[in-house]
């Protein structure tokens, strides 16, 4: 059960994420152990390209937590069970602040979000925000779902394949 304070904090983080001016600057598909287990790596800039250097660090400072929370929430909402994890899966469950805090690490001057399985959902999502205002999102076995999450964060409809 989530408290009202937790819900408000989550909304505040999502509001911050909604105004982070990010761009996907590169994407790479990394082969996996089988066709469905490939990884997708997105390289991001979390600033406008014509921003001065000090503004880039500023965006990382105020936007990193919200951006990473939004990535976690979108990954969680999109994730499905695999194998025995279906016993824990609840389709109405939500990504919570406790999930976010448990997955958050600060390493080598970078803020990392590392998720594997959370309450029956196979997330397999790793995201980084650097103080330089750049970032990386890498997923495994999730197809190209991360591109849809980025599209949704920009306020666009999810990307669709051409029939």
Distance, CA of 80 to CA of 97 (rounded, Å) = 20
CB 93 within 8 A of CB 104: no
87-107, pLDDT tens digit by residue? 888 989 999 999 999 999 999
In this prediction, residue 33 carries a pLDDT of 81
Q: In the chain, where are the structural domains located?
A: 4-153
Would you call 65 helix, strand, or coil by DSSP? helix
Q: What pTM was estimated for this model as a whole? A: 0.90
Please provide residue 102's backbone torsions phi and psi, each rounded to the nearest 5 degrees: -65, -30
């Amino acid at each position: 059960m989530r408290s009202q304070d937790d819900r408000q904090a989550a909304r505040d983080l999502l509001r911050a994420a909604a105004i982070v001016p990010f761009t996907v600057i590169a994407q790479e598909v990394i082969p996996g152990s089988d066709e469905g287990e490939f990884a997708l790596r997105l390289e991001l800039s979390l600033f406008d390209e014509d921003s001065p250097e000090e503004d880039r660090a500023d965006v990382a400072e105020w936007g990193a937590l919200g951006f990473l929370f939004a990535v976690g929430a979108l990954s969680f909402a999109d994730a499905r069970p695999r194998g025995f994890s279906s016993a824990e899966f609840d389709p109405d469950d939500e990504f919570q602040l406790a999930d976010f805090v448990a997955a958050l690490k600060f390493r080598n001057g970078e803020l990392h979000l590392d998720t594997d399985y959370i309450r029956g959902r196979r997330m397999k999502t790793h995201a980084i925000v650097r103080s330089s205002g750049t970032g990386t999102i890498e997923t495994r076995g999730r197809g190209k779902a991360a591109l849809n999450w980025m599209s949704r964060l920009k306020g666009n409809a999810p990307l669709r394949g051409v029939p």
